[in-house]
Chain A
Amino acid sequence: MTTAVVDGRPPVARHTARWVAVTVLVIAAGLIAVLATRPPASVDEVANPVVGRSAPAISGATLAGTTYSLPRVPGRYVVVSFFASWCEQCQAEGPQLVAFQFQHQRTADATVLSVMFSDSASDARASQAQLGVTWPTMADPGGTIALNYGVRQLPSTFVIAPDGRVVASIVSPVTAAGLDQIIARARAEHA
């Protein structure tokens, strides 16, 4: 910072601060524009090695005390939802899953299957009953199903195509519309 004072003459009017400030503002505006248009990296769909491969088999005891084995029905997508009663976001997405199931009941082109994850059967049963869940819920003793699907956090949801391939892995609360989008995309890719 040297002055413009030369030989006792009055200082020359300077606009350094103004020009520097304007430059900084332009750069900041550019930065903000870039940041504002970035999609959040908190991707809901995660790269799980199971995606694109044949879905691990799901069979075993259900919460209702019966046994169940996931059949492969032509033309039908299956939404596998891992949940626990202690998972607050699972409770939040519950009504969306119920709505999704209701919308697809008549067309029978998609259904939901729940898998209890690290929870007590009575708590899980109560929370499923509260939501009005009509589909089967796997008890998954020992967490075998969760292990096969590589579930690390809740909520975790997988979409299985009619041909048995896993087409999506989602680790945030799902919505009925979001699931429809994923299914529509999978259909388009398949066609």
Chain B
Amino acid sequence: MNGVLGHTGVLLGFVAAVVGIVVLGVGLYRGRPSTLRSGLVYAPLILVGGLIAVASMEHALVTHDFSLSYVAQNNSRDTPVLYSITGLWSALAGSILLWGLVLGGYATAMVWRFRRRSDEKLIGWATLVVYVVAAFFFGLMLGPADPFTHVVGRIPTNGPGPNSLLQNNPLVLIHPPMLYLGLVGFTLPFAFAVASLITGRLDEDWQGETRRWTLFAWAFLTMGILLGAWWSYEVLGWGGFWGWDPVENAALLPWLVGTAYLHSVMVQQRRGLLRIWNLSLVVAAFSLTILGTFLTRSGVVQSVHAFSDSTIGPLLLSFFGVVVVTGVGLIAWRGDRLHSPGGIDSPISREGAFLANNVLFVGFAFVVLLGTVFPLLYEALNPDSSVTVGAPYFNRFFIPVGLALLFLMAVAPALPWRKTSVEVMRGRLAVPAALGVVTVAVCVLAGIHGVEPLLAFGLGAFAAASAGRALVLSVRGAYRTSRSAGATPARSVLAGWRGFVGRANGGMVVHIGVVVIAIALAAATSFLQRTEVRLSPGRAATFAGHTVEFVGTREVTSPSRSAYQAVLRVDGRGLFYPAVSQFGSGTQAVGTPAIDSSWRNDLYLTIASIPTTGRTWTFGVVEQPLVMWLWIGAVTVGAGSVLSAIPGRRRRRPTDPVSAPAAVSAPPAPTGGDPGSGPGSDQRRARDTDSEPLPVGAGDPA
């Protein structure tokens, strides 16, 4: 039953996507708006197909229907409901199913948003691209990644359950779906990029749309990555949160490129520059998503969380090839005709800072990509030897890039567009810079050593103060606007919250979150202390100012889990229970750390070994400062992303003049005048290449 229904759902999704492609193709070829309009109904059908399939699979998992091979391999009678539900994404075929559902959701959201512009060519092409991607993923589920295959032979009465590591912490309920919402979300920006290259519409209007979709995907990807770091800290028992593992890198690569895009797109919206560059970033982000999926799903790289199934690999690799050839080929075909008129006037300007930001993000993405695939390239050239690329390689680049980004975050928000003067910058940055210097001085006096952490703290304080200054100014501006409009002081204070919303202000909140993460990361990794203590019950040991007393041991047994726990008393107060657990019939015993967490530091306790004879247990103890601030920073980034998605004050319509006077074939824009106030018309000029009517209400620049 579950299998039949599931197959039906997958088939519905696939057929809807294929028919949608044909209908839109015909509509675009014949130029018939009515056909284009009818092509949009297939997106909700894809979503319905995905929903049916996912519902069948979840039903099968929760009711332990072992007639499905997927359930028999990833579930057991004793698996609790929570981990039965998460079973959907604990192996290859199910995760492709989740991918299909999320893509169906995005496709539906997209056609709903553009339902009034559905006869436009650009929307038609973008929808067509989304359908092609959907057809590919649903097609995978009809062939090599079929989640609904029936077991061979007798139906088993029980199964091994999910991988032990995946039923150890409830974070697996939200981390993977967040990640998928992020990764799959890059499909829409890619679709818009392809559509605008084909139709030749590179105006800033669609960039507003693409930015919003990218921001949505980016926020989920950020949350997904940070939740993944949290999960690995809580579960894996080595006291770390990031290991530069290929699977982690696979999620980081699109994030880096997406972050670069979210910054550089502002240069395009504001100045009409960097058009082809922005398109390239969007194409790169999606291509890297597919490449990452290939790397982690095909088994070509060794990784702790890779699903290995080689039959799907060649298909994903071919799809990656198609995506790259389509995106890059279109840029080669169109790019030189569509490049931006005008240029960046001065490197010391907002757009100059964004460009530097892009160089750092894209450069670092290249470093990460190279480090991830280097072992494969090396083995291809030296068939009989192998090489691994570890954390030292990535950190050698990550630390300077991170510090440079902190510096940019400190300076850029104060930089005006186009150009600036020393006086202006001195006035705006004096206080934040002084705060940075004071922070370093205080840290040195407090006895903190090391160039890298001190630089991180100082630049972090500088950047946070700079972001805080921008927020204070915008809140004050919102308050004054409200006051001058005649509102009472109380109402105006409430109106001040508008100083936190919108692209720029929400972005500053994100910056503060990133600074908090950066400082926590620098502190936690620079001042980590690790030891192993051997204790018999009743004895205590002192480490890094903490007393750890081994109170005793206990065994915990439930149908789904059996565990040996050690009872440890830390600093004479709380009890902590690091454990070694075994889940269901699975044979892999996994360590479960116990963490004494406070805002100052974390004490991370694991069982290193249980003696076969005697009573002396060995414990791993890791002391790291400020770890909790990683998660606080993550929440701040999430909140900032939400704030920046809320439209801010509408200072101008998209068609209104913006800064930077320049005209086609005119001499370079004059370098004088007040920054950011020139009566320019980049955006209108950009639309001159486009004969189609301007959409109504689109391209809100906020």
Contact B587 A86 (CB under 8 A): no
The interface stretch among B2-10, B312-320, B538-546 is B312-320
Which of A13-21, A65-73, A134-142, A183-191 sits within the interface?
A13-21
Least Cβ–Cβ distance between A148 and chain B, in angstroms: 14
Is A24 in contact with B328, judged by CB distance below 8 angstroms? yes
Is B298 touching A88 in the complex (CB atoms < 8 A)? no
Does B380 make an interface contact (CB < 8 A)? yes
Q: A17-B332, A38-B376, A86-B585 are in contact. Are A91 and B343 (CB under 8 A)?
A: no
Q: Which residue of A lies closest to B152 (CB)?
A: A92
CB distance from A19 to the nearest CB of B (A): 8
Contact B665–A86 (Cβ < 8 Å): no
Would A8 and B299 count as touching, CB distance under 8 A? Answer: no
With both beta carbons as reference points, the residue of chain B lying nearest to A10 in the complex is identified as: B665
Are the CB atoms of B331 and A123 closer together than 8 Å?
A: no
Give the Cβ gap from B500 to chain A, nearest Cβ, in Å. Answer: 33
- Known interface pairs A18-B332, A18-B336, A25-B328. Does A32 touch B153 (Cβ–Cβ under 8 Å)? no
Q: Are B73 and A88 in contact (CB under 8 A)?
A: yes
1-42 of chain A: CB within 8 A of chain B? 1-3, 5, 7-8, 10-11, 13-18, 21-22, 24-25, 28-29, 31-32, 34-38, 40-42
Complex Cα distance A41/B273, Å? Answer: 44
Task: Report B299-328 CB contacts with A as 1/0, cut-off 8 Å.
Answer: 111100010111001100100110011001
CA distance A154 to B158 in the complex (A): 14
B159 lies within 8 A of chain A by Cβ: yes
- B695 at the A/B interface (Cβ < 8 Å)? no
> Are A17 and B335 interface neighbours, CB within 8 A?
yes
Chain B residues in 8 Å Cβ range of A87 = 156, 159-160
Contacts of B328 in A (CB 8 A): 21, 24-25, 28
Chain B residue nearest in CB terms to A84: B585
Residue of A at shortest CB range from B72?
Answer: A88
Q: How large is the interface on B (under 10, 10 to 19, 20 to 34, 35 or more residues)?
A: 35 or more
B73 touches A32 (CB 8 A): no
Which of chain A's residues 71-93 have a Cβ closer than 8 Å to chain B? 84-89, 91-92
- Asked whether B344 lies within 8 Å of A14 as measured between CB atoms, the reply is no
* B667:A8 contact, CB within 8 angstroms: yes
Q: How far is the CB of A157 from chain B (nearest CB, A)?
A: 15
Return the contact of B377 from the options A5, A22, A34, A92 (Cβ within 8 A): A34
**Does B656 make an interface contact (CB < 8 A)?**
no
Bound state CA distance, A148 and B159, in angstroms?
24
Given contacts A18-B332, A86-B76, A152-B587, contact A35 B160 (CB under 8 A): no
Q: A34-B376, A86-B160 are in contact. Are A14 and B336 (CB under 8 A)?
A: yes
Binds B, one of A56-64, A103-111, A124-132, A161-169: A124-132
Q: In the bound complex, how far is the Cα of B158 from the Cα of A117, in angstroms?
A: 13
Given contacts A34-B376, A86-B76, whether A131 and B153 have CB atoms under 8 Å apart is yes
- Beta-carbon contact of B341 and A25 below 8 Å: no
A40 touches B299 (CB 8 A): yes
B551 to chain A minimum Cβ distance, whole angstroms, is 31
B157 within 8 A of A: yes
Partner among A13, A29, A126 whose Cβ is within 8 Å of the Cβ of B154: A126
A14 to B334, CA, bound (A): 12
Contact A41–B301 (Cβ < 8 Å): yes
- In the complex the two chains form, what is the Cα distance from A1 to B339 in whole Å? 9
Tell me which of B153, B306, B335 contacts A130 (CB under 8 A): B153
| Consensus secondary structure, chain B interface | loop
> A40–B313 contact, CB under 8 A?
yes
Answer whether residue A153 sits at the interface, using C-beta atoms and an 8 A cutoff. yes
Residue contact B336 to A41, C-beta cutoff 8 Å: no
Contact among A2, A8, A13, A94 with B336 in the assembled complex (CB-CB below 8 Å): A13
Residue in B276, B324, B668 whose beta carbon sits within 8 Å of that of A17 in the complex: B276
- State in angstroms the CA–CA spacing of A91 and B377 once bound together: 38
Asked if B587 and A118 make an inter-chain contact with CB atoms under 8 angstroms apart, the answer reads yes
* Residues from chain A with Cβ under 8 Å of B321 in the complex: 28-29, 32
Is B153's CB under 8 angstroms from A123's CB?
Answer: no
**Given known A-B contacts A32-B320, A118-B585, A123 and B158 have beta carbons under 8 A apart:** yes
Q: With an 8 A cutoff between CB atoms, is A176 at the interface?
A: no
**Contact call A127/B317, Cβ cutoff below 8 A:** no
Bound CA–CA A36/B319 (angstroms) = 12
| Residue numbers in B under 8 Å from A11 (CB-CB) | 665
What's the least CB distance linking A73 to chain B, in Å?
30
Residue of A nearest to B667 (CB): A8
Judge whether B308 and A40 touch: CB under 8 Å: yes
> B342 near A3 (CB under 8 angstroms)?
yes
Give complex CA distance A24, B156 in Å: 50
Q: Is the CB of A40 within 8 A of B273?
A: no
Asked if A25 and B300 sit within 8 Å, CB to CB, the answer is no
Residues B274 and A1 in contact, CB atoms below 8 Å apart: yes
Q: Is the CB of B341 within 8 A of A3?
A: yes
Given contacts A18-B336, A88-B151, contact A38 B329 (CB under 8 A): no
- With an 8 A cutoff between CB atoms, is B379 at the interface? yes
Which residues of the partner chain A approach B668 to less than 8 Å between Cβ atoms? 3, 5
Contact B157 A86 (CB under 8 A): yes
Q: Is the CB of A86 within 8 A of B158?
A: yes
Check: B422 CB closer than 8 A to any chain A CB: no
Tell me the smallest distance from the CB of B158 to a CB of chain A, in Å: 4
Does A55 interact with chain B (Cβ within 8 Å)? Answer: no
Known contacts A40-B298, A94-B153, then 11 further A-B pairs from the complex at CB < 8 Å, ordered by chain A residue: A1-B339, A15-B336, A16-B336, A17-B331, A21-B332, A32-B321, A35-B373, A84-B585, A91-B151, A91-B154, A130-B153
7 A/B residue pairs, CB under 8 Å, sorted by A: A1-B343, A5-B668, A16-B335, A21-B329, A42-B306, A86-B585, A88-B152
Chain A residues proximal to chain B, CB less than 8 Å: 1-3, 5, 7-8, 10-11, 13-18, 21-22, 24-25, 28-29, 31-32, 34-38, 40-42, 84-89, 91-92, 94-95, 117-119, 123, 126-127, 130-131, 146, 151-154
Closest 5 pairs between A and B when the two form their complex, measured CB to CB: A17-B335, A42-B308, A42-B299, A21-B332, A88-B72
